[in-house]
Amino acid sequence: MGSRRAVFAGLSTLDLAYAVDRYPAEDSKTQAADLFLGAGGPAANAAITYAFLSGANPALVTALGKHPLAELIRGDLHQHGVTAVDLTPDGTQQPPVSSIIVATGAATRTIVSLDGSRIHPGLDDTAADVLAGASLLLVDGHYPDHAVRLATAARAAGVPVVLDAGRWRPVHADLLPVVDIAVCSSVFVPPGVPADSADAVFDHLHAAGPQLVAITGGGGPIRYSMPGGRGEIPVPVVPAIDTLGAGDILHGAFCHFHERGADFPDALRRAAAVAGASCRFVGTREWMRHHDTQSMR
């Protein structure tokens, strides 16, 4: 591999999101005001965000296969500058599909989906090869065996490992020892740790591995912990209409700013501004048409 590039590893879905003013009543028909159709999933959205902000071409290690719906995902990734490294190149499985109703009046979204738990990619060395010359690795914990294998290889190669932690899953016990930075949601609570104590979560995660830890809170402040101190970062107040993928976008933006030398709190602050701006538009792409990329590089 020539120039260094970021690598993202985890879930890709096909997102089908309808925008309506309010959530439909049961057993009714509703005319949507807008529609988003494209690749989704934590790692995929983060990779696309990173590609947009940086102008670089990251790799996404994920499971796609040969199903016709996978071609829609693959095409969208390619269009946005992301190179897909397929863990299941000969697979015929249907990729995960997320059906989403976005109630723009309340800025809420309701998602019905299947994750990647029904897909079990075999292990080989092909995916690990993508780490040659990598600048960083983000894992979202999906496809657990591959996530642990890639993170372990990255740690051995001196490649920084970032964890997108949405909710606690068994794989995290194996991932945390090889993670440098963990950016977690407020519902990510390890077993035995008080759910109402951010400090307890910080202490647990630091002891497990990551030296830099952040806990996001939706529209609330981002709490962070690093050697030398802990603090909070206020999140910009925006006229939100759709929060779909905002956390994924934050992770991708964080990787961009961190890679370019911003310190931990500043990278989080700048990433939160990008994620907040994305909530002003329907879907996970429209914000890009209104964004000044030069000011973000």
Contact criterion met (CB below 8 Å) for 160 and 31: no
User: For 2-41, what is each residue's pLDDT tens digit?
Assistant: 467 899 999 999 999 999 999 999 999 999 999 999 999 9
d(CA 20, CA 75): 27
294 — pLDDT class (breaks 50, 70, 90)? very low
User: For 246-293, what is each residue's pLDDT tens digit?
Assistant: 999 999 999 999 999 999 999 999 999 999 999 999 999 999 998 875
| CA 97 to chain centroid | 16
User: For 179-216, what is each residue's pLDDT tens digit?
Assistant: 999 999 999 999 999 989 999 999 999 999 999 999 99
User: For 56-93, what is each residue's pLDDT tens digit?
Assistant: 999 999 999 999 999 999 999 999 999 999 999 999 99
| CA-wise closest residue to 227 among 216, 215, 211, 207 | 211
